[in-house]
Structure 1
Amino acid sequence: MILRPLAGAALLLAAACAPAVAQEDPRISPDGTVRLDGVSIPLSGLMSQEGRDYVRHLIVDKPFGTPVPDLAQERARQDGIMFAFLEPMRRRYAVDIAEGRIGGVVVDVVTPAAGIAPENAHRVLVNVHGGGFTTGARSASLVESVPLAALMGIKVVSIDYRMGPEHQFPAASQDVAAVYAELLKTYQPQHIGLFGCSAGGLLAAQSIAWFQAHDLPRPAAVGVFCASLSGYFGGDATATSGPLLGMLPPPADAPRRGPPPASGPTYMGEARADDPLAYPLASPEVVAQFPPTLLISGTRSFEFSVALNSHNALTRAGVPSQFHGWDGMFHGFIYNSELPEAREAYAIMVDFFQTHLAE
């Protein structure tokens, strides 16, 4: 069995980026209620009002369109989505951003505009961005890094790792290891945290396995956001998340579409499901050596089930693990800093790293 992560459109709001269903589809109400086989499922009443309004917008309006086949155009499209989220985020969180190169790899170094907090002068966070291993370089990476840099008062090094289809697994893991090895010349491993969202969440987990296999000391803690130790697909949530976000199959009387266009090579390529360097959950021994781990997801996100499953596996192995899920939230909800749910997640991330990075 070969597991393949979603391509670039999986990065954020995968449901919103899927082929649009006509807004007059009677199965989708203007208030965001979705009817599945005669059962009406309204928006969750446990979300904030801002969350409810935004999820309704995703279901009814599908604001992000659909992926385009040209890779350069798709990367530009996804960057545009990310930069639109970055604009209000930069107003909310004051940071400085500088390009650099560490271990031969291009990075963005994000620091709080007010300066690094004295207690964090010897600490650093490392970010590996989302984007289906295809998009998100220096755009999603900033959306993931800015809040933590500002709220925690810490330096965040975001890695511009090699992506597919130009490169295949384990190129990104090698880039993360190169940056990490160089940082170890300045920082103690117990003072380093690693995190990422979506493909970046999987890459963060892959990197922990890669460090183990190549005799690099493990960092103090890892954040696997919008992903799991086994990818981001599987379980109930993969089946239910799309329909609950308005990704419905065409009505029975709709014209039949032709076959989807052939896809090219993917970053994960022929990586095996039992390879722990690709999917760390495949090895109980690798899982048992994970550092404290934080997993974050939403109940309408396709990775919710596998993220919860990873948390349970880590806990069984005796690894300190936290799992936080938000009802009604979608894949990559943390990219929208205007949502109270996203800001709640940032606070949990900050507390997690503050707790587990040694003083």
Structure 2
Amino acid sequence: MRIFQVITVSEFGGAQSVVANLVQGLNDDDEVFILYGGNGEAWKPLTRKVNLIKICEHRKEVSWKDMFLVFKLLRLRLKYKPDVVHLHSSKMGAIGRIVFNPKTIVYSVHGFDSIRKAFRKFLIVERLLKNRAAKIVGVSQYDVDCLREEGISHNVELVYNGVADHKADDTASLEDSSLKRKIEDIRGKYSKVIMCVSRISAQKKFDLFLDIAKEKSEYAFIWIGNKEIINDLPSNVFCLGETHSAYIYFRYADVFILPSNYEGLPISLLEALSFGIPVVASDVGGIGEVLDGKNGFAVENNVLSFTSKIDYVLDDSRNQVMRLNARDSYLKNFTIDKMVKGYTSIFKAIYNKGKRS
């Protein structure tokens, strides 16, 4: 099969991780292209042969410049004649469904609430283009249900995100020495480390993270993923900036938390589980489908809900069991193999139907 993976931006993030992990797991006989915007850092770890084509600069917003993008994609369609076109992000999902043959299109919705709650004006676009895809994929049952509530249902399927298993890797050799020293110094001063790996944006509730930290001042709260230096933090809060392969540092965490206004199925949460780290996260998007009280908790967005479950998870009588459950839930449900099987079955069905027609 000749497969296009098409995504708006290529800096490290959830959707980009899905693309990279999926590409790695596809059959070696498949000819894979990644059409992307931005600088392409997310593709640097790839080890298989992939055709990388930069189609635009990093630009999430819609503008008149997207007319050039439309023509560029159309030219690539005519030149390479892909068997399957896999679209990621709402912007590329819209442009791609206009440009490419709908019978070849798979459109992954990486968190439908980003449209329903944050950018509701784009709902009309989703409804207008709902039939211009062979398959629309929700990354959680929550997303599938939300799509159906908006009248998008007949071609919708669920495929959970999956992440690579790095627990047995020699992650210490990959660590940034400066960042490692900072975290080890923090661990030396506090009995427990509560960690969050995420960018800081309107979607993420960084203010709630700070309020939780103030309430649990006996623990260190580490945030990895902030672009800017943040001043005037509580003494037990440490924002350590961006880093490649942030999952490396989960081995220093006792609990992973993720306060958020909306989500699809967060990659960082699944990575924490893969390292056997229990999770306390906002009960939004597909998070409640992952956390079952044995591997962690999906909670309301308030300080008490988070702090009470953090205390529960850290209790010595149950912590080790929860760690084992976290790891086990990852192995059963959220491996790359499971995600690849889900998408491969969709791709093959589209390819075989195209060959018969």
Verify same fold: TM over 0.5.
Answer: no
Q: TM-score range by the shorter chain?
A: 0.3 to 0.5
Task: For CA contacts below 8 A with separation 6 or more, give which structure has more relative contact order.
Answer: 1
- Structure number with higher helix proportion: 2
TM-score by length of 1: 0.32
Structure number with greater Rg is 2
Q: TM-score, normalised by structure 2?
A: 0.32
